[in-house]
Amino acid sequence: MTTTTAATAAPSYLSINNIEVIYDHVILVLKGVSLDVPQGKIVALLGANGAGKSTTLKAVSNLLRAERGEVTKGSIEFQGQRVDSLTPGELVKAGVIQVMEGRHCFAHLTIEENLLTGAYTQKQTRAELKDTLEKVYNYFPRLKQRRASQAGYTSGGEQQMCAIGRALMARPNMILLDEPSMGLAPQIVEEIFEIVRDLNQREKVSFLLAEQNTMVALRYADFGYILENGRVVMEGQAEELRSNEDVKEFYLGLSTAGRKSFREVKHYRRRKRWLA
Amino acid sequence: MQFFFEVLIGGLLSGIMYSLVALGFVLIFKASGVFNFAQGAMVYLAALSVVGCMEKGAPIWLAVILAFLVMVVFGVLTERIVLRRMVNQSPISLFMATIGLAFFVQGAAPLLWGNQPRGLDIGLVDEPIPYILDTFGIVVSRFDLAAAGIAAALVLVLALFFQYTRVGRALRAVADDHQAAMSIGIPLQHIWVMVWGVAGFVALVAGMLWGARNGVQFALTFAALKALPVLILGGFTSVPGAIVGGLIIGASEKLAEIYLPPLMQGVLEGNFGGIEGWFPYVLALVFLLVRPEGLFGEKHIDRV
């Protein structure tokens, strides 16, 4: 494991301390996950299917309860305040908003109506609202073109943009972005990540980003955490992770030792790392 | 020909009454994706509350306000006790819950206000309008016309509310996707209380009109059944659909009642009275085969 963690690099903004999440009172999904997101940074949460990435994000945004999940141990703090017991609405007001996996646009609302619902929790005047909307359209010019289309009839990329734009309408300090690359063409994925970086740099929005597409995520993120089976198994600066041999082999599919049988590799590495 | 128009207009106007009940269904379905089987029971509860308050000596305006409060409390309790526990459950579970709710209300309302049938006088008389009778020779009920006016106003207000207000938009958003609405901070609980309150108000209007026409009695709960074909015709998610559907059902069942039996008698032997009772359902069945989303319903959008 590397020694450089996000926590030592900058004061923590969002911090998750050793949380345990149980679904339906019996299914233990997160087994003590700790991570930090410093202000103004992009932190990537990586790992395979079922590793607990989405669950971690939902634990923060508190959407867990609607899925019969529960944080049973540990604490979650945002700007030094405990936020574990806030409703999603209160959390949005506090500046943390989640963009869900699979986009979840309101299919029968137009793109513009989708965006406007994002400002529901905000006490914005009509003029402010218009400004915010214009700003979002600036980041996503494509949405402006399609503003009058029903969201359900737009492309996957446009829907992803709509979902992010909708979150931006709440003028958040931090976005929990779940699997933005899901089901999108590589070009669109790049486009969306470019916008994420832009938002991060120009609007100072911090991101906690759950992603299976490790390669892309690590190119845009500042830090990375790798989850496996509900535990953080590795963490570090994005460049470090990118050059780490194990990560390369597992998640990037690159290896210096030539091609090996997948089965063999898995065994060998698993023993080396998790049993040690 | 005069007779034809008289039947047609009578049918259209009585269709409005169906529309009013259907409207309550549409509101709740739109905003929470719940098919509220208890809407008929709510109409009954609302009408009973008005009559009950009036029997206790309240003037009609006070009775209406009190009945509205009853409906709001009912909405709040429903949200607290039933819906809150059912977030993200399958639509069929929610539907089942509302069936339970319907039975509960049907039992509880008479307990609260007594179960004997009563009349309700809201100051509208069911008599022909002399002007129209003199000029066109057609009987148009003053009561029906007033009911239609009330319904039209109600629909206009609701349509504007859904399309152009922040809360209306949020209601439609919640209808589309509970979880996503939650994720952007729309408080589902408030939204549901609000929509049940609005549906309660619609039930109140419907209950008073139905009650004034047919008396406030248990049979009011069955008025809801006629709303089903209306919904299938108009679409479950469309406020204008509920109105147009009601008009079509009202007009077609009255016309069928008058003009179908002679035709059928030519082909088959027998007595063909009471067509009014089943015709709407047959019409609904045909619609289900041809256009399942209804005339104005939202098409289910599926991306492949």
Closest residue to B184, CB basis, from A90, A92, A150 = A92
Lowest mean pLDDT among A152-161, B65-74, B161-170: B161-170
Please report whether residue B60 resides in a domain: yes
Residues B123-147: what's their mean pLDDT?
A: 79
Contact A153 B298 (CB under 8 A): no
Kind plus residue range of the DSSP H or E element containing B42: helix B39-55
* B185 contact A CB<8A: yes
Domain boundaries, chain A: 6-243, 244-276
Question: Is the per-residue pLDDT at A269 higher than 70?
Answer: no
Which residue(s) pair with A77 in the sheet?
Answer: A15, A82
Contact B303 A156 (CB under 8 A): yes
The three-state secondary structure class of A211 is: strand
Closest residue to B182, CB basis, from A88, A109, A116 = A88
Contact B185 A97 (CB under 8 A): yes
Chain B positions in Cβ-Cβ contact with residue A89 (cut-off 8 Å): 182, 185-187
Q: Nearest-CA residue of chain A relative to B190?
A: A89
pLDDT at residue A156 in the model: 93
Question: Is the per-residue pLDDT at B292 higher than 50?
Answer: yes
A276 band by pLDDT with thresholds 50, 70 and 90: very low
Helix axes B188-214 and B142-164, enclosed angle (nearest 10) = 170
Please report whether residue B228 resides in a domain: no
* B194 contact A CB<8A: no
Residues B75-103: what's their mean pLDDT?
A: 86
Q: Is A71 exposed, middle or buried, given 0-12, 13-18 or 19+ CB atoms closer than 10 A? A: buried
Distance CA B292, CA A86 (A): 42
Please report whether residue B283 resides in a domain: no
Contact B176 A66 (CB under 8 A): no
User: What's the domain count of chain B?
Assistant: 1
Q: A106 CA to chain B: closest CA distance, Å?
A: 5
Closest residue to A118, CB basis, from B184, B301, B303 = B184
Distance CA A234, CA A244 (A): 10
pLDDT at residue B204 in the model: 92
* Residue A19 vs residue B30, higher pLDDT: A19
* B293 contact A CB<8A: no
Distance CA B120, CA A121 (A): 43
pLDDT at residue B304 in the model: 54
Contact A108, B172 (CB under 8 A): yes
Q: In terms of residue numbers, what domain contains B206?
A: 14-221
Mean pLDDT for chain A overall: 87
- φ and ψ at residue B3, rounded to 5 degrees: -65, -40
Question: Is the per-residue pLDDT at A274 higher than 50?
Answer: no
Does the structural domain A6-243 have CATH classification 3.40.50.300? yes
Interface of B with A in 51-110 (CB under 8 A): 87-88
Contact B250, B279 (CB under 8 A): no
pLDDT at residue A95 in the model: 94
pLDDT > 70 in chain B, percent? 96
Question: Is the per-residue pLDDT at A8 higher than 60?
Answer: no
Kind plus residue range of the DSSP H or E element containing A97: strand A96-99
Question: Is the per-residue pLDDT at A3 higher than 70?
Answer: no
Kind plus residue range of the DSSP H or E element containing A108: none
Using alpha carbons only, what angle is made at residue A235 by residues A233 and A237, rounded to the nearest 5 degrees?
A: 160
Contact A108 B170 (CB under 8 A): no
- Do the bridges between strand A96-99 and strand A231-237 make them parallel or antiparallel, or are there none, so unpaired? unpaired
Closest residue to A106, CB basis, from B176, B182, B237 = B176
Please report whether residue B259 resides in a domain: no
Closest residue to A113, CB basis, from B169, B184, B301 = B169
Using alpha carbons only, what angle is made at residue B17 by residues B12 and B21, rounded to the nearest 5 degrees?
A: 135
pLDDT at residue A57 in the model: 95
pLDDT at residue B272 in the model: 67
pLDDT at residue B188 in the model: 85
Contact A104 B298 (CB under 8 A): no
Question: Is the per-residue pLDDT at B303 higher than 70?
Answer: no
- Altogether, the residues listed in chain B come to a count of 304
B45 band by pLDDT with thresholds 50, 70 and 90: very high
Chain B positions in Cβ-Cβ contact with residue A165 (cut-off 8 Å): none
- Altogether, the residues listed in chain A come to a count of 276
Which residue(s) pair with A12 in the sheet?
Answer: A38
Q: Per residue in A162-214, pLDDT tens?
A: 999 999 999 999 999 999 999 899 999 999 999 999 999 999 999 999 998 88
pLDDT at residue A6 in the model: 46
Please report whether residue B177 resides in a domain: yes
Closest residue to B184, CB basis, from A67, A120, A153 = A120
ipTM surpasses 0.90: no
Q: Per residue in A114-123, pLDDT tens?
A: 999 999 998 8
Chain A positions in Cβ-Cβ contact with residue B185 (cut-off 8 Å): 88-93, 97, 120-121, 170
Contact B166 A116 (CB under 8 A): yes
* A118 contact B CB<8A: yes
Contact A152 B303 (CB under 8 A): yes
The three-state secondary structure class of B216 is: strand
* Residue A105 vs residue B139, higher pLDDT: A105
Contact A28, A22 (CB under 8 A): yes
Q: Per residue in B179-198, pLDDT tens?
A: 899 999 999 888 888 888 88
A268 band by pLDDT with thresholds 50, 70 and 90: very low
Contact A66 B303 (CB under 8 A): no
Which residue(s) pair with A16 in the sheet?
Answer: A35, A76
* B148 contact A CB<8A: no
Closest residue to B180, CB basis, from A106, A113, A170 = A106
